[in-house]
Structure 1
Amino acid sequence: MHYSTVLLLASANSLVTATPVSRRAAVTKFPSGTSWDIVLNDGNFDLAGLKAAKGDVLDIDLFDNTADGKTWIKELAKTKKVICYFSAGSREDWRPDAKDFAASDYGKELDGWKGENWLDVTSTNVRNIMKKRIEAAAAAGCSAVDPDNVDGFDGNQDGFSKDASVYADYVNYLAGVAKNNTLAIGLKNALDLIPSVINNIQFAVNEECHANTECDRYKSVTKAGLAVFNIEYGINDCSEPSGVILSSVMKPANQSLDTLGGQC
């Protein structure tokens, strides 16, 4: 992280303390069909490039978002709804707060992602770290957060044998923190959680719903009027099942998210 987390957290805490709930700005809405783009590697783009990105919404990394030592978020937020990505279900050993996790907080490595381990989402310490991240997102000027890896229950890939209800509780906890900081929040993948969290989210983010033949499972999200931001890797499929409105972008087959563009 190229900005001061301490300062950001202090600013967020001051905002929450000083601003009465009735006077806070409304949580940003992301209605069905909202156009978007996502880029999680800042190495190839300058600020002008990101500002010129197609779509009303831009999903970028909460940590890797600087140019010339300054965060891009507040500048981008002048013309975009900025969603700030972070992993809520894993510890990434390269993040600036990686040392804050206790050894008991994390276990199995994510398949194919060296240095990234699944978290125990029931840990009070894990939840406090994520609370700080959300507060930092608010202070940085994000409109929303995109918490990844909340599907550790799927096939017991987290190694903690937590079931879907535990992850639903976790997502709803994160949603409560986001709301307290006037941030929208999305559900990333984890389709089994939709019925349990739909009243607390403002959008969904999916990877490869066409490739996995699961796009039709977003009918309730579209019915609620919420955006479904879909990413497809290496295929060009802009179709929509009946009753579902997708905001799709096509990205390279290697699943890198360091290129802009690809909207339907």
Structure 2
Amino acid sequence: MRHSTLLALASAASLSTASPLESRAVAKFPAGTTWDIVLKVVLPLADLQKTKVQALDIDLFDNTEGGKTTIKELAKTKQVICYFSAGSREDWRDDANQFVPADYGKALDGWEGENWLDVKSANVRKIMKARIEFAAKSGCTAVDPDNTDGFSEGQDGFGYPKEVYADYVNYLAGIAKTNNLAIGLKNSLDIIPLVLPNIQFAVNEQCHEFENECALYKPVTAAGLAVFQIEYGGNNCTEPAGVNLSEVIKGADQQLDKLGGQCP
């Protein structure tokens, strides 16, 4: 995660009673799909509806809290990608007490209140299954599970190799497919070859800034899938050969609280 979300999520009771949405085919996100992302605020439905992009990435729980109909209404005209953290325990979330101490490890560097999760834990997987089911019930067409790169430099504190995280992403993808939801890979570039058959898009943050990561998305573009890219600050809208980026330029403060910024 290269940004944080400081908003409350729907009640644990709602998560536990969620059921799959059975009547919808898994959404497709072809390369070049236009998109936007807003996580830090809940914008009026009318503002979201009038944007000209094909897909919107918004916080799952904040946009469903209190019986809001934002997601279901928005999904009538757009693909709605619902964000949640799949690899960290956020202590402000309503279901935070469902994790036992053994489920989480080191703190995420720079992100207060977050700890890396043990992605091999059966309990962690149960909680994430409930979240994905809740996304389906809420009307999302896809999910954006964050923080699936704990293997990078051993930052999770568990010392798991990338293959364990690939297995976790593929597990989440299986749950998503059962619930007729598309799923994306957030960052986690090293496991692209291990999960590519099971994802429908990718989401990257700052690929221009981090050692030219953009070129590593060639297999995703070759598979005909969208690569949704966020660049914080600057104005770099270039694309490496063989990569099709659906790019938005957002503020350097990483607030993700405004619409717009699409590269031409």
TM-score range, shorter chain: over 0.9
Gaps of 5+ in 1: none
Return closer, same or farther for 1:90/1:2 CA change in 2, 3 Å cut-off. closer
Q: Is residue 227 from structure 1 mapped to residue 234 from structure 2 by the alignment?
A: no
Return the letter of the residue paired with 1:12: S
The residue type paired with residue 208 of structure 1 is: Q
Structure 1 segments of 4+ aligned residues over 2 angstroms from their partners: 1-11, 66-69
Q: Identify the residue that residue 236 of structure 2 maps to in structure 1.
A: 237
Q: Aligned with 1:73: secondary structure?
A: helix
Root-mean-square deviation over aligned CA pairs: 1.7
Q: Residue 129 of structure 2: which of 128, 131, 135 is its match?
A: 131
Q: Deviations over 1:199-241 (max 9, x none)?
A: 0000000000111111010010000000000000011111111
In structure 2, distance between residues paired with 1:158 and 1:77: 35
Q: Percent identity?
A: 66
Quick one: which amino acid aligns to residue 243 of structure 1?
A: G
Report the TM-score, using the length of structure 1 for normalisation.
0.92
Contact 2:10 2:94 in 1 (8 A): no
Residue type of the alignment partner of 1:186: G
Q: Give the alignment of 1:133-152 within 5 angstroms.
A: 133-152=131-150
Rounded to whole Å, the distance in 2 between the matches of 1:4 and 1:255 is 27
Structure 2: 5+ residue runs without aligned partners?
Answer: 1-7
Give the secondary-structure state (helix, strand or coil) at the position aligned to 1:31.
coil
Q: Which residue of 1 aligns with 2:3?
A: none
Cα deviation, residue 66, structure 1: 5.0
Task: Give the aligned partner of residue 103 of structure 1.
Answer: 101
Aligned residue-pair number = 255
Q: What amino acid maps onto 1:10 in structure 2?
A: T
- Using the TM superposition, give the Cα deviation of residue 53 of structure 1 relative to its aligned residue in structure 2, in angstroms: 2.5
Query: TM-score scaled by structure 2?
Result: 0.92
Amino acid at match of 2:19: A
**Alpha-carbon distance between aligned partners in 1 of 2:193 and 2:227, rounded to the nearest angstrom:** 15
Return closer, same or farther for 1:159/1:30 CA change in 2, 3 Å cut-off: same
Partner of 1:170: 168
TM-superposition CA deviations, 1:93-120 (whole Å, max 9, x none): 1111111000110111111110011000
Contact 2:9 2:93 in 1 (8 A): no
Give yes or no for contact 1:9–1:139 (8 Å, CA) kept in 2.
no
Q: Matches of 1:214 and 1:103 in 2, distance apart?
A: 34
1:255 corresponds to which letter in structure 2?
Answer: Q
Cα distance in 1 for residues equivalent to 2:251 and 2:15: 34
1:52 positional shift: 1.9
Q: Is the 8 A contact 1:3 1:70 kept in 2?
A: no
